[in-house]
Structure 1
């Protein structure tokens, strides 16, 4: 569907449903670099233009409107992993409805529980996702009166592909304090919580990134390999669209696929999840490789291991590349930031997550009784990015929000310089180690072959669990040297990366990992478990 001539001018606040159209008016020929074609429009191929994507959003919005989606409706999206998830959300926003984004990797029992809290007016999915639903699909129908396929045909359900688009829906007019986007937490400790963000709340990361881009005079291609259902991704997309630059939204984090796409588009900025960077370190050794022209690396969600930062900065051939780390949560948006260079990473403390954004965010430490005599406590934050509510769990939201201060449920402290140091998630703390995250940092630093190192409780024991690059054998002698400075530990459990349970943002689900080790569903690659050969 062609773009309308009477497109509203960009306002001061982010409008999800209009970002592609406004960008296409100014930069119609700018490119997206895809690693797989859109499910919604495979005919666009791997290099669609801004104009083509904006027309896709308009067409999809018209089909949604014809299918009965109306302004103010809540529309859940649970479709196969692909970058078109971003633009399906934009189309829902174009109608004036509220997209509620479910990660493609969620299990159906979890999705049904989340849908029971959400009670969406419409539920958008696709044939591949429905194939693994089983009996859970009928449970879902009890919580979602309208189920529509984003593409394809299955189960006799209506499909957007077969819906005849009528007139374009009216332009959305969403109040500043109304929900504009619903995403969810990682779910590392249970069923993910649905987080409703106001239109004003989605603006904070956009403003922050836009200011930085202006300061750095950034005009190069931007590559991102981050969850397509996370609020952060929409802020990154909106900022890049405003700049009119090439955008590479990568669906496949495999090192070979990443190398192929980045070697073509030669990005000046790359953003990925911390654990992805661990796997991508092997690309750093390629002469004039995919990171050679990168000027800025970015990472959010978790503190990243210093080894990855040092390796990536070393892979760039730019004179003064930067690594920008921000810390926050789905519920808060970015809270702190730290910028690394080749010089300051040499002595970096991996637990330091930086300083608050002046005039935009605040942070404080709220001591707990068990922290008496230390400077540690809950990390709490205050900003305009704090979410409106947990959908269907208002009481839990109220417990976390104390006088406008949001409890991140992370334990840490502030240094005398004012920077925030993150030690552990509250749920992961153990008496045997002051900081599991710091211990993991030290192991990753000492053993270059590791691509993951986590400590989990299995019964009464804290067990180290590791993955190696391409699942190669673990050097046990090197391991013993690396843990010599730590309290006595059991032998590490070396597992295949494919067995490591993780979220859409590649956070390890420690509770599921511990359960899998306990019941034997997760097996050691070399048969070493509990310090002896496991001969089951």
Structure 2
């Protein structure tokens, strides 16, 4: 069955900004002294945000960033992330958000793969020195040159202010950087270098950006296990999140707690970009904790809270919830293959949230494909991911690509203006993902109902979701295979009462090895992002395979 979008009209009627720098300038003019970003005691107005972004863009120009150069950010959700990311894009750069859960090797891969010219990096986060981790990883990488051996294309690595620990610098834009590691630059030094760049040069560069120029490369993994960079343009990003904002009902002055990480479309685009389109207030949260979220909602009068079901469930169940005033919450947006009906009902009854919506998307389609609409009944919100957004087609197809009728499961295919231009410099992978007539093969299994509502039922690519983070077995298997005591390994997702799903590894040890499950899990925690680490390990004599040698994942899942 094919579900074409209806005739809903986007909120950006008339002439709208067609690039991200133009959107920022329009927001600064329109909302001026109103709060744009609130972070603790720091209040940044829209005018001040525009000024800070202009300085960051000038620093990028002084650093030699040319139109189309890749600029990476490896840092948590902070005002500094917003400033340097928008500064990079304003300078004509292509943003490469790096997952904060990545270890040094994983981050170095993203930087090397995109040939990033500039990196903005936090000093220490969650007790880990990102600077030290990257230096260790780069030391063993290919090539020489630049501030970090092994990353020859990287010309500048800038430590962001106020990150704490080794490499930390003060948060002021003036003064002298302190304790910046050798080979890295401090934020103040970076900004000072940009003082020689006149504002006119910055905006000449920004105005030269065309709507269909790439705005970002966001990494996602596939069945090969190697992360791939999804290329999306300014025009795609702005149109999708203008639509997202209209369908969700985001308003000027809304106070939006952004707990979804900025390295993900849900955080950066449905967060930062959506707020810029409406003049909402961004309240970034660097690390999610239930206590901090409850306190922020009450203190900042938060009205908008998107997040995965596990996050919302933890808020509802927290024993200290009643001590916080959550009455300002009016909009919650979530998404997953399964959203309990009870969760939707509790949000609407216990917290009296008038609008609760679910949605479905993937990075290759700019992050959003379907959404429920305001006024949909609880059952539709809980049991489906809504209908195709305007300008988008969704089809459930058989293995040979033919449309299937309502109620019959098949692969979800998507076509529309927001489908990626391709994977970065990977024509073969792009050709496998996008058909010649423009249909994106999502790898997800779904069912459409008579009204066009989509329900995701399975994952062809074996992906599972750990507390809101997509985990890809092939990538985890590739990392685990580096362990010297393993001969073979396969990973599947298994149910978990707290995180929804977690990984379980079935591993074949080398003869004579005394490797234990605890040993392997501890090793994995040192080598990969925490959400990828298998929580369970079973050692087996051999993995079940078919005649072609493919591991029978269904059989492993059935073992539990």
Quick check: TM above 0.5?
yes
Matched with 2:456 is 422
Asked if the contact 1:356–1:363 (Cα under 8 Å) also holds between the matched residues in 2, the reply is yes
Describe the superposition over 1:269-301 as per-residue Cα deviations: whole angstroms up to 9, x where unpaired. 221233322322225983484532222111257
TM-score by length of 1: 0.72
RMSD, aligned CA: 4.1
Asked if the contact 1:353–1:420 (Cα under 8 Å) also holds between the matched residues in 2, the reply is yes
SS for the counterpart of 1:368 is coil
Q: In terms of mean alpha carbon deviation, does 383-392 or 401-410 score higher?
A: 383-392
Displacement of 1:18? 4.3
Matches within 5 A, 1:131-530: 131-138=132-139, 139=141, 141-151=150-160, 152=169, 153-163=180-190, 164=192, 165-166=195-196, 167-168=198-199, 169-171=201-203, 172=206, 173-185=208-220, 190-212=225-247, 219-232=253-266, 233-283=268-318, 286-287=321-322, 289-300=324-335, 304-317=339-352, 321-333=354-366, 334-339=368-373, 344-345=377-378, 347-348=379-380, 350-358=382-390, 360-368=391-399, 375-402=408-435, 403-428=437-462, 464-468=494-498, 509=532, 512-513=533-534, 517-518=537-538
Change (3 A) 1:519 1:122: farther
Write the distance in 2 (CA, Å) between the matches of 1:105 and 1:217: 32
Q: Which runs of 5+ in 1 are unaligned?
A: 1-9, 37-44, 430-435, 441-449, 470-495, 521-529, 531-536
Matched length: 448
Change (3 A) 1:135 1:364: same
Asked if the contact 1:203–1:235 (Cα under 8 Å) also holds between the matched residues in 2, the reply is no
Write the distance in 2 (CA, Å) between the matches of 1:460 and 1:92: 39
Asked if the contact 2:77–2:285 (Cα under 8 Å) also holds between the matched residues in 1, the reply is no
Q: Which runs of 5+ in 2 are unaligned?
A: 1-13, 125-129, 142-147, 161-168, 170-179, 478-487, 500-520, 541-555
Displacement of 1:366? 1.7
Matched with 1:47 is 43
Describe the superposition over 1:388-437 as per-residue Cα deviations: whole angstroms up to 9, x where unpaired. 111132211110101200011001122233221211111339xxxxxx99
Asked if the contact 1:35–1:252 (Cα under 8 Å) also holds between the matched residues in 2, the reply is no
Displacement of 1:99? 1.4
Say whether residues 1:84 and 2:80 are aligned partners: yes
Describe the superposition over 1:212-242 as per-residue Cα deviations: whole angstroms up to 9, x where unpaired. 46x7866432222111122342353233234
Displacement of 1:35? 4.8
Asked if the contact 1:93–1:180 (Cα under 8 Å) also holds between the matched residues in 2, the reply is yes
Change (3 A) 1:307 1:98: same
Matched with 2:26 is 22
Change (3 A) 1:409 1:13: farther
TM-score by length of 2: 0.69
Displacement of 1:135? 2.8
Displacement of 1:384? 0.8
SS for the counterpart of 1:60 is helix
SS for the counterpart of 1:513 is coil
Change (3 A) 1:121 1:287: closer
Change (3 A) 1:292 1:517: farther
The one of the two structures with greater contact order (alpha-carbon pairs below 8 A, sep at least 6) is 2
Change (3 A) 1:427 1:110: same
SS for the counterpart of 1:292 is coil
Matches within 5 A, 1:111-126: 111-126=107-122
Match of 1:94 among 84, 90, 95: 90
SS for the counterpart of 1:162 is helix
Asked if the contact 1:24–1:50 (Cα under 8 Å) also holds between the matched residues in 2, the reply is yes
Matched with 1:104 is 100
SS for the counterpart of 1:353 is coil
Write the distance in 2 (CA, Å) between the matches of 1:92 and 1:462: 38
Asked if the contact 1:57–1:87 (Cα under 8 Å) also holds between the matched residues in 2, the reply is yes
Change (3 A) 1:339 1:303: farther
Write the distance in 2 (CA, Å) between the matches of 1:87 and 1:460: 41
